[in-house]
Amino acid sequence: MASGNAIRGSRVGAGPMGEAERGESAPRLRISFWCSNGHETQPSFASDAQIPETWDCPRCGFPAGTDRENPPDPPRTEPYKTHLAYVRERRSDADGEAILAEALAKLRGEI
């Protein structure tokens, strides 16, 4: 028994019309990019588009370049720094001692 809905499962615009309905597509170029892990990616660009220097590899996320023998280096990841590590970068031990002495003097009421 059919439910009586003849167009069930189809959508507006569905069908074999293809390019006749949408017009012809722009000429395309497929450019190969390689990452440092050896993965190859071939994105498609319009023939008149500017090709980027690097492309992110969809498999590992590293940057990929067009030179297979010399791919871009993966980005360096810096370890997490604590607040104290940043303070130590800005201040020398002598500066720290002077600030500590000043704070202690203020607490003792000497200033």
Annotated binding site for Zn(2+): 35, 39, 57, 60
Annotated binding site: 35, 39, 57, 60
The DSSP-derived string for 22-68 is: H-PPPPEEE--EEETT--EE--EEETTSPPPSEEE-TTT--EEES-S
Paired with 45 in beta bridges are 29
Task: Check: CB of residue 63 under 8 Å from CB of residue 57.
Answer: yes
Task: Check: CB of residue 37 under 8 Å from CB of residue 53.
Answer: no
Nearest to 62 by CA among 71, 74, 52: 74
